[in-house]
Amino acid sequence: MATPDKIGIQESYAREGVVLLKNVLTEGWLERLRSAVDEEVKKGERYFAYKNMREHPGTFQDFCLTSDIGQRVAEVAGSSWTSLMFDQLFVKEPGTRTQTGWHTDQPYWPVVGPIMTMWIALDPVDPDNGALEFIPGSHAWGAKYRPFKTDQLGAFLHYLEEDSPEYSDMPDFEAERDRHRIIHFDMEPGDALAFDGMIVHSAMGNRTSTRRRRGYAIRFACEGATYQPRDTVTEWLHDPGMADGSPFFGEKFPLVYEAA
């Protein structure tokens, strides 16, 4: 049974498309994930993004499959089940001034229906070192913005799906900031942002000289999500064993929570 606090979080998430969750990680998980991230980032780039660590034995897989994160997703979404899509690291080292452009996530993925990202802060996060920004309520606009290719720093290169009439080009929200309500969240290590796959969002650059910004993002499907393969930048997410229109869980996308 949902408590009043959980109902309030569900209502806020449904209305805004994003909600801040405090202290999602225990100290033990926080330290394990920090160490695991640092092992992945030894290449030394200023901005490092890596995906699908959960497919390999180790800390990331353990967290995705054995922690309570899937249940937390279900509680926020009001879903009876949660399946695991993939995970990503987003590390902005000091001096990475490039902004991650405004975008929506879901058009890149072979899925329709309720999708949630849990973006977990492993360092303090604020506007100086790369806070995420959101246009609250934009997930409910009904707009389908065309996915686009970016460079390694997240800057726009060119559109994808250019011939598809179901998509429209992303407006220049950065130039139109005064026309929209734009919010960000200061975060402490272990906090998480839960946000909808269709919300318009971006991330600031890291203009500090000493502070890292390590973020761990996990993508989940919820009750009502279905498989819809299409040609985007994430063909690696296609599963030939899943039928078009089938519920979004299976061998490639395991259930990590199911209500009793």
| Pairing label, strands 18-21, 192-196 | antiparallel
Query: Residue 246: what are its φ and ψ, rounded to 5°?
Result: -80, 155
- pLDDT > 70? residue 190: yes
Instruction: Give the CA angle between residues 230, 194, 204 to the nearest 5°.
Output: 85
pLDDT, tens only, 47-62: 566 788 998 899 999 9
User: Alpha carbon of 114 to those of 83, 196, 198, 233: distances in Å?
Assistant: 11, 7, 9, 20
What is the tens place of the pLDDT at every residue in 194-209? 999 999 999 999 999 9
What is the number of structural domains in the chain? 1
**Angle made by CA atoms 157, 172, 103, in degrees to the nearest 5:** 60
Secondary structure (H, E, C), the chain: CCCHHHHHHHHHHHHHCEEEECCCCCHHHHHHHHHHHHHHCCCCCCEEEEECHHHCCCHHHHHHHHCCHHHHHHHHHCCCEEEEEEEEEEEECCCCCCCEEEECCHHHCCEECCEEEEEEECCCECCCCCCEEECCCHHHCCCCECCEEECCCCCEEEECCCCCCCCECCCCCCCCHHHCCCEECCECCCCEEEEECCCCEEECCCCCCCCCEEEEEEEEEECCCEECCCCCCCHHHCCCCCCCCCECCCCCCCEEEECC
**pLDDT confidence band for 231 (50 / 70 / 90):** low
Mean pLDDT of the chain: 90
Q: Are 203 and 105 in contact (CB under 8 A)?
A: no
Question: In this model, does residue 1 exceed pLDDT 50?
Answer: no
Tokens in use for 151? 């460079």
Q: Give me the domain span that covers residue 189.
A: 4-258
Across the beta sheet with 201-203, what order do the strands follow?
100-103, 201-203, 132-134, 183-184
CA 223 – CA 20 distance, rounded (Å): 21
CB count, 10 Å around CB of 254? 14
Supply the CATH number for residue 57's domain: 2.60.120.620
Query: Percent of the chain at pLDDT above 70?
Result: 89
Tens digits of per-residue pLDDT, 16-74? 999 999 999 999 999 999 999 999 888 666 656 678 899 889 999 999 999 999 999 99
